Amino acid sequence: MRGGDSVPEFLDASSHGVAAAEPTRWKRTLDGVASASMILAACLVMTLSWLGYRRESPNAGHAPPPLPTAPLSLAGAELRGDPTAPAVLIVFSDFQCPYCRAFAQQTFPKILKEYVAPGKLLVAFRFFPLSMHPFADPAARAALCAGEQNRFWEMHDQLFQSPQLNDSVLIESASAVGLDLKALEACEAKPQTEEAVREDVRLASDLKAGATPTSFVGRRAASGVTVLSRILGAQPYVIFQEAIDKAIRGGPAK
């Protein structure tokens, strides 16, 4: 017997066996239900993850939309690098997007080292918060207002360090980069701040940005940036390398 239970003396050997076996059958049944529940939960998580991936990453098998023919303006974008650099990388990104975080942590540092630091590339960041991410818009406004205190790129890096975003992370990130929290809060509440984020979102829509992140690579022109390549999602560094090298050489559009 388990658990120190005793069987009443009036039960014969046969009923004793049934009584002992009954909890075992129940345990097996419950274990089976629990296992099935875990499998169903895992399938649900995988399905939701796949749906999110389809929303945030390029759709395989579909031809990409045509590249913009008119030069893109950099007005209002957050810039990093030499403004006279021959090539430009424009990144539309979402601070709560896992693919954007992967790009920011794995690929972007290599781009900074190999192209931005030597003065070959100018990076322009634009906000593309998806409605499916509840803290993407607040994070975008916080980063934009960090730029008002000349801390945009520090806030950019800090926000992408966290695998999850919430109100506490936003405040902790702002404190970590040395922002004036009262000034930050006042800036975030301004209608102009939200409108600046919405302008970037509208531009992303006009350019048929089909993933987060979506990047455009091009060459500097007198009236903006002549786009040569579109890169959907958190592609490997070699994809960006190829596109940037072509832009520096003035290669043909893809």
Q: Whose CA is closest to 155, among 135, 134, 137, 139?
A: 139
* Euclidean distance between CA atoms 221 and 165, whole angstroms: 37
| Residue scoring higher pLDDT (199 or 10) | 199
Q: pLDDT by residue (tens digit) across 23-78? A: 555 555 555 545 555 545 444 434 443 344 344 444 445 677 899 999 999 999 99
State the pLDDT at residue 252.
45
Could you tell me if 173 and 158 are in contact, meaning their C-beta atoms sit under 8 angstroms apart?
Answer: yes
Q: pLDDT by residue (tens digit) across 170-204? A: 999 999 999 999 999 999 999 999 999 999 999 99
Q: pLDDT by residue (tens digit) across 104-139? A: 999 999 999 999 999 999 999 999 999 999 999 999
| Percent of the chain with pLDDT strictly greater than 90 | 69
Domains of the chain: 1-53 (no CATH), 78-249 (3.40.30.10)
Strand partners, 89: 123, 217
* Euclidean distance between CA atoms 155 and 143, whole angstroms: 6
Q: pLDDT by residue (tens digit) across 154-170? A: 999 999 998 899 999 99
Strand partners, 214: 92, 232
Q: pTM for this structure?
A: 0.76
Could you tell me if 197 and 137 are in contact, meaning their C-beta atoms sit under 8 angstroms apart?
Answer: yes
Could you tell me if 189 and 144 are in contact, meaning their C-beta atoms sit under 8 angstroms apart?
Answer: no
Other Cβ atoms less than 10 A from the Cβ of 106: the count is 12
Longest dimension (CA), the chain: 100
State the pLDDT at residue 46.
41
Distance of alpha carbon 122 from its chain centroid, rounded? 21
